[in-house]
Amino acid sequence: MLIYVDGKLLTKEEAKVSVFDHGYLYGDGIFEGIRVYEGNVFRLKEHIDRLYESAHTICLEIPMSHKEMTQTTLDTVAATNLRDAYIRLVVSRGMGDLGIDPAKCPKPTVVIIVGSIALYPEEFYETGISLVTSSIPRIPCQCLDPRVKSLNYLNNIMAKIEARRAGVPEALMLNQEGHVAECTADNIFMVKDGELKTPDLLQGALGGITRAAVLEIARDAGIPTEETVLAKHDLYTADECFLTGTAAEVMPVIDIDGRTIGNGKPGKMTNDLLDRFRELRVRDGIKVNYEAAATVER
């Protein structure tokens, strides 16, 4: 495994950041999780766009241009020679002191990790998964807009702990008004009377890249879609429900808080959207040039 750290490709053992890095001390930074399918980086432009939007909102100046970040990501993938992989792109505020003042961090830290990721078991796509509603509400927009993909994930982690203690792989998170926001690492969709619905982004959801892709696929297929306000009752009484995410892709949900969704099996629209997404994921990407030498220093 080779990892990009501030201009150099290092082994897993060599790759290190300072304990004074504010990403480590305070979760002060942003990240993206990106998939590589058969040598194609899925929707890399959209991921890089979101990275820079998150950076802008938290007043973090990334020390690379959009074009440079894109090429460096592709070069790092090429250096690993992995055709199917997961990319974790992290930009932190950088090394500072023990105070929280970001002005004490003169240079952000850029890390690009390319490796494998623990994915959902394939049988989950055939049987569906169960969810529980977390007691932990999603961070409100007044505190930090959830559309910023920040390194501070403790809110989601606490909800994930509740899911694990309940014996299920994911937890539903509500906003402070009690409306459906998202899950700990995925967006959520429901189907009712042939219409596809998902919470709008002001309800506390991250603007997922897979979420956007599924909405596009559905609209292209002539499926009515709506980004709206949803409550637990809407999910409980849905015909179908599923999650979307970089790791999950399109994951069917068959039970929430002990309430069976639909007939208790992955739905027809869910399966159709999963098939269409898996066709799209290789076509809609930037091809990695594995033959060209990486431009970053080793």
- Among the options 149, 160, 265, 268, which is catalytic? 149
3-state secondary structure at position 24: helix
The candidate with the shortest Cα–Cα distance to 174, out of 153, 204, 144, is 204
Helix (H) or strand (E) holding 53: helix 44-57
Q: Would residue 45 show up in a list of annotated catalytic residues for this protein?
A: no
**Which tokens belong to 256?**
């929430």
For residue 138, give the 3-state DSSP assignment.
Answer: coil
Beta 195-199 vs 187-192: how paired, if at all? antiparallel
Q: Is 161 exposed, middle or buried (0-12, 13-18, 19+ CB in 10 A)?
A: middle
CA distances from 178 to 121, 160, 175, 181 (A): 31, 18, 5, 9
Catalytic residue IDs: 149
